[in-house]
Amino acid sequence: MKGKRGSTFIAVMLAMVLLAGQSFAEPITIEWWHAMRGARGETLDKMVKAFNDSQTEYKVVATNKGDYGEVVNAGVAAYRAKKHPHILMSFEVGTMTMMLSGAIYPVYQLMADQGFKIDWSSYLQAVLSYYVDEKNNLLSMPFNSSTAVMYYNVDLFKKAGLDMPSKTVPLTWEQMAEITKKLVAAGAKKGLVTTWQSWIQIENYSAMHDIPFASKANGYEGLDCELMINNPKVVGHLERLKSWMADGRFSYEGREYQGPNAAFVAGDAAIMMESVSGIGNVNKNAKFAWDIAPLPVEADMKQPQNSIIGGASLWVMKGHPKEHYKGVAAFMNFLAQTDMQELWHMETGYFPITTKAYESLKTKGFFDKIPYQEVGIKQLNRTVPNKNSRGIRLGYFVQIRNILDEEMELIWNGSKTAQQAMADAVKRGNDKLREFEKTNK
Amino acid sequence: MIKRSHFKSNGLAYLLITPQVLVTLAFFYWPAIQGLLQSLMLSDPFGRRSQFVWFENFVRIFTDILYLKSVGITLFFSLAVAFTSIIFGMTLGCLANRALRAKALIRTLLIWPYAVAPAISGILWLFLLHPAYGVVAYFLKNVVGMDWNPLLNGNDALFLVVIASAWKQVSYNFVFFMAGLQAIPHSLIEAAAIDGAGPLRRFWVITFPLLSPTIFFLTVMNIIYAFFETFGVIHAVTQGGPGGATNTLVYKVYQDGFVGLNMGASAAQSLVLMALIITVTVLQFRFVERRVQYTT
């Protein structure tokens, strides 16, 4: 009896030693928390699998932690408990919070430290520029980037006897006035609808018309910035939309995308301004011919600036063993490879982040087959991003967007004039900015 | 007389309550104290910088007209939800109590909606009442000719979230009213009937007063529900819009704290909420204790 027990003990010890020996050869696990679900999540998993299969040193484990807000919250809680992942996805409006968190390892530094010499100029600049610091160094790796474009119902356009808009030259708002008038006269229930009103009608509008959204280069150059959206152009634009509500040329369908999308795919609204990431949804649900054109601009804007992106980027978090970061850098580098970027764009509609991937898709004739997929990229790439168009970097930006949504709704329901609403939005937004500034001093 | 149990020594008693005390300390007092501290500080979400600012967060919320407006909206919303769900719960309770056939089935069906999560109930009502794709909204606009638009009209939006929030609470109230009604002695009602009182009079003079402890208890419970648990409905249906017309206090806490990561402000708001709800609970105990006989 005793001898048997002894031999079991030895066997267990041996097994443990062997297993321990094994674990040295096991790949290092790299945790990635993200917000991609459904079809996007599946594509993401394909990319992760490709990386894991391509080498044996590292194993990336991607976990969906809910929507954007939930992912950032999970990251914050985990960081406080020192159980955070290596890579955390954050939406573009959370850039400022992540940047100042003290919890991140800037991507440009990571790549340099790990010996990856990356030619950042070969990336799509309008995508990168949202995530750079004031010295133009990349802080987080762009992952899913989109921009806003104009979807239109081809059948309703034909019915109204209208020419189809160009895919590269934007319509002017004067033309839009005529077009929507004709559409409504020809029986369209609603002329124009818009998703994400703050992002499209104020943030993108300002960028394309080269007007600052906030001082200090849209907040890139200092926390002491102030909102500047109560300018005549933005106010005039909102006033115009409000005046179009009287005869159905513009209709408000809600803050996010569900309402406007429903109105568009039902054939009620002839034009919808929406992110390119909505292509899949429209494709699936619209029972009519439709197409995409760039967002309209004012007639005096001969050379409109690029539109700005929405979406999310990948932040590398501090506090892991040094050897892990080699794997993180290798993974970031892998994601930026042309074949991965092509896969990502073709399956999700989000932009490729390198010009090489874009060119490659072009040569393969992808855009000849699906020309509307290229409208957004062209709009994003039509100029070199400048201080007004590279992005917006504000503290408490989520709340500021909320304020804008509220104030815009007060314009639409006639409680306030556009002038008053934007003046109030600036005042309320600046209070938030000051609070953020004080917190982060 | 309240019965008292006596232990020989206090040691065993303390030992027995220890688990409960520990749970309460860990899951109530500890977070509450954290919240209190947070409300006096400005700090970034990752916990790198925080500074003690005394009552600045409170001053900021109480000088914000929109916050005060949100307090008003919350009170109105809570009362409207409590009132609507109690009236319907009571009516259904009284009717179901008189049902002759399939009483158990009727009861079960009426309790069912309570199992629906608030967010789902919000979505269900949105499907009925959304101006773009709602069936009822279509009927209201095209048949009744009403200008129904909760996306733009604050009153419409408030009506929508009140209905969606009250709907599932009707079931909860229904259960309590059924229980309350069964506790009313039949002899009283029969005596009144013999004296010639009609059904309505019997209700007002006998049933209603005898239900009053139930009604009061439910008022408090429903107000607490409307304060805290309707978050899902509002998030799914209006996101606080249009123009802040349905921005209740608990939704604001979520917006500022969870989405906006503004810890100090949302902690201060949570404390205000807590103070409000403690007030309501104290009122409940003062009032209900006077009317309810616990032992006979």
Dihedral in degrees, nearest 10, Cα atoms A19, A21, A22, A28:
120
Q: Are B45 and A97 an interchain contact pair (Cβ–Cβ within 8 Å)? A: yes
Dihedral in degrees, nearest 10, Cα atoms B157, B160, B166, B171:
-160
Residue A48 lies inside a defined structural domain of this protein: yes
| A408 vs A431: CA distance, rounded Å | 18
In sequence order, the β-bridge partners of residue A194 are: A273
Contacts of A108 (CB under 8 A, 6+ apart): A120, A137, A138, A139
Q: What residue type is assigned to position A285 of the chain?
A: N
Model confidence, pTM:
0.87
Residue A165 lies inside a defined structural domain of this protein: yes
Phi-psi region of B65 (alpha: psi -120 to 50; beta: other; left: phi over 0): alpha
Q: Are residues A368 and A402 in the same domain?
A: no
Q: Please tell me the predicted confidence (pLDDT) of residue B294.
A: 46
| B257 vs B268: CA distance, rounded Å | 10
**Chain B nearest CA to A171, separation (Å):** 27
Identify from A405, A439, A440, A441 which residue to disrupt to test chain B contact, counting B C-beta atoms within 10 A and taking the largest count: A439
Any idea which residue has 């909606």 for tokens? B113
Q: Are residues A29 and A119 in the same domain?
A: yes
Chain B residues with CB-CB distance to A435 below 8 A: 42, 60, 262, 265
Q: Find the CATH number of the domain harbouring A357.
A: 3.40.190.10
Q: What residue type is assigned to position B161 of the chain?
A: V
Chain A residues with CB-CB distance to B238 below 8 A: none
Residue A335 in contact with residue A47, Cβ under 8 Å? yes
Q: Are residues A46 and A91 in the same domain?
A: yes
Nearest to residue A352, comparing CAs of A91, A89, A124?
A124
Any idea which residue has 């500021």 for tokens? A400
- For A293-352, write each residue's pLDDT tens digit: 999 999 999 999 999 999 999 999 999 999 999 999 999 999 999 999 999 999 888 999
| A100 vs A81: CA distance, rounded Å | 19
Residue A380 lies inside a defined structural domain of this protein: no
Strand boundaries in chain B, DSSP class E: 41-43, 50-52
Q: Which domain holds residue A292?
A: 148-308+386-439
Residue A69 lies inside a defined structural domain of this protein: yes
Helix (H, G, I), strand (E, B) or coil at A59: strand
Structure-block tokens of residue A105: 């390892």
Nearest to residue A255, comparing CAs of A183, A201, A219, A313?
A201
The CA-to-CA distance between both ends of chain B, in Å, stands at: 8
**Chain A nearest CA to B187, separation (Å):** 57
Q: Which of A262, A396, A409 sits opposite B242 (nearest CB)?
A: A409
Residue A234 in contact with residue A209, Cβ under 8 Å? no
For chain A, give percent helix, strand, coil, nearest 5.
Answer: 55, 15, 30
Instruction: Provide the mean pLDDT of chain A.
Output: 92
Residue A68 in contact with residue A91, Cβ under 8 Å? yes
What is the β-pairing status of strands A190-194 and A309-316? unpaired
Structure-block tokens of residue B16: 């027995």
Give the model's confidence band at A24: pLDDT under 50 very low, under 70 low, under 90 confident, else very high.
low
Nearest to residue A312, comparing CAs of A81, A40, A105, A4?
A40
Chain A residues with CB-CB distance to B262 below 8 A: 396, 399, 435
Structure-block tokens of residue B250: 């608990």
Residue A157 in contact with residue A281, Cβ under 8 Å? no
Q: Are residues A181 and A303 in the same domain?
A: yes
- For A116-157, write each residue's pLDDT tens digit: 988 899 999 999 999 999 888 999 999 999 999 999 999 999
Q: Please tell me the predicted confidence (pLDDT) of residue B295.
A: 39
- Say what the ipTM of the complex is: 0.82
Question: Which residue is closest to B57 within chain A, CA to CA?
Answer: A435
Any idea which residue has 């279509």 for tokens? B138
Residue A84 lies inside a defined structural domain of this protein: yes
Q: Are residues A248 and A368 in the same domain?
A: no
**Chain A nearest CA to B62, separation (Å):** 14
Question: Which residue is closest to B56 within chain A, CA to CA?
Answer: A435
Alpha-carbon separation of residue B53 from A429, B43, B59, B148, B295 (angstroms) = 21, 10, 11, 46, 50
Helix (H, G, I), strand (E, B) or coil at A355: helix
Q: Are B258 and A73 an interchain contact pair (Cβ–Cβ within 8 Å)? A: yes
Nearest to residue A266, comparing CAs of B193, B138, B174?
B138
Chain B residues with CB-CB distance to A406 below 8 A: 240-244
| A38 vs A286: CA distance, rounded Å | 20
Q: Are residues A126 and A162 in the same domain?
A: no
- Give the distance between the most distant pair of CA atoms in chain B: 77
Chain A residues with CB-CB distance to B261 below 8 A: 72-73, 76, 94, 97, 398
Chain B residues with CB-CB distance to A420 below 8 A: none
Residue A99 lies inside a defined structural domain of this protein: yes
Angle between helices A397-412 and A232-245 (to 10 degrees): 50
A42: phi then psi, degrees, rounded to nearest 5: -65, -45
What stretch of H or E contains A61? strand A58-64
Residue A111 in contact with residue A103, Cβ under 8 Å? no
CA angle A122, A125, A127 (to 5 degrees): 115
**Chain A nearest CA to B46, separation (Å):** 6
For range A359-374, the mean pLDDT: 94
Residue A282 in contact with residue A265, Cβ under 8 Å? yes
Q: Which of B60, B244, B261 sits opposite A97 (nearest CB)?
A: B261
Identify from A65, A198, A406 which residue to disrupt to test chain B contact, counting B C-beta atoms within 10 A and taking the largest count: A406
DSSP letter at A182 equals H
Q: Are residues A202 and A345 in the same domain?
A: no
Residue B226 in contact with residue B1, Cβ under 8 Å? no
Q: Are residues A277 and A160 in the same domain?
A: yes
- For A33-63, write each residue's pLDDT tens digit: 999 988 889 999 999 999 999 999 999 999 9
Question: Which residue is closest to B66 within chain A, CA to CA?
Answer: A428
* CATH level 2 (architecture), domain B65-291: Orthogonal Bundle (1.10)
Nearest to residue A273, comparing CAs of A288, A289, A252?
A252
Q: Please tell me the predicted confidence (pLDDT) of residue A15.
A: 59
Residue A381 lies inside a defined structural domain of this protein: no
In B25-64, where does DSSP find H-type helix? 30-39, 56-62
- For A396-423, write each residue's pLDDT tens digit: 999 999 999 999 999 999 999 999 999 9
Q: Are residues A21 and A121 in the same domain?
A: yes
Chain A residues with CB-CB distance to B44 below 8 A: 97, 100-101, 439-440
Residues of chain B numbered 56-75 and touching chain A (CB < 8 Å) = 60, 66
DSSP letter at A353 equals S
Q: Verify cis geometry, omega within 30 degrees of 0, for the bond prior to B242.
A: yes
Chain B residues with CB-CB distance to A428 below 8 A: 66
Residue A379 lies inside a defined structural domain of this protein: no
The alpha carbons of chain B give a radius of gyration, in whole angstroms, of: 23
Q: What residue type is assigned to position B181 of the chain?
A: L
Sign of CA dihedral A210, A215, A217, A218: negative
Angle between helices A338-348 and A38-54 (to 10 degrees): 160
User: Any CB–CB contact under 8 A between B235 and chain A?
Assistant: no
Residue A214 in contact with residue A234, Cβ under 8 Å? no
**Chain B nearest CA to A94, separation (Å):** 9
| B92 vs A50: CA distance, rounded Å | 60
Q: Which of A100, A259, A438 sits opposite B132 (nearest CB)?
A: A259
Q: Are residues A35 and A55 in the same domain?
A: yes
The count of structural domains within chain A is 2
Q: Which of B45, B132, B154 sits opposite A76 (nearest CB)?
A: B45
Q: Are B42 and A435 an interchain contact pair (Cβ–Cβ within 8 Å)? A: yes
Chain A residues with CB-CB distance to B255 below 8 A: 399, 402
**Chain A nearest CA to B214, separation (Å):** 39
Q: Which of A73, A399, A441 sits opposite B256 (nearest CB)?
A: A399
What stretch of H or E contains B69? helix B65-97
What is the β-pairing status of strands A190-194 and A269-275? parallel
Question: A1-5, A156-160, A366-370 — which is least confidently predicted?
Answer: A1-5
Q: Which of B44, B133, B153 sits opposite A262 (nearest CB)?
A: B133
Q: Are A262 and B132 an interchain contact pair (Cβ–Cβ within 8 Å)? A: yes
Any idea which residue has 């011919």 for tokens? A289
Contacts of A426 (CB under 8 A, 6+ apart): A226, A227, A228, A229, A230
Residues of chain B numbered 125-164 and touching chain A (CB < 8 Å) = 130-133, 151-154
- For A180-231, write each residue's pLDDT tens digit: 999 999 999 999 999 999 999 999 999 999 999 999 999 999 999 999 999 9
Q: Are residues A194 and A271 in the same domain?
A: yes
Task: Please enumerate residues of A whose Cβ is less than 8 A from a Cβ of B.
Answer: 69, 72-73, 76, 79-80, 94, 97, 100-103, 252-256, 259, 262-263, 266, 268, 396, 398-399, 402, 405-407, 409-410, 412-413, 415, 428, 435, 438-441
Structure-block tokens of residue A318: 């501090």
Q: How do the pLDDT tens digits run along chain B, 296 residues long?
A: 455 666 667 788 889 999 999 999 999 999 999 999 999 998 888 888 888 989 999 998 998 888 999 999 998 999 999 999 999 999 999 888 887 788 889 888 888 888 888 778 888 888 888 877 788 888 888 888 888 888 899 999 999 999 989 998 999 999 999 999 988 888 888 899 999 888 889 888 888 888 888 888 898 889 889 988 888 889 888 888 898 899 999 999 988 888 888 889 999 999 999 898 888 778 777 876 666 554 33
Question: Which residue is closest to B43 within chain A, CA to CA?
Answer: A439
Residue B78 in contact with residue B226, Cβ under 8 Å? yes
Q: Are residues A164 and A59 in the same domain?
A: no
Q: Please tell me the predicted confidence (pLDDT) of residue A5.
A: 60
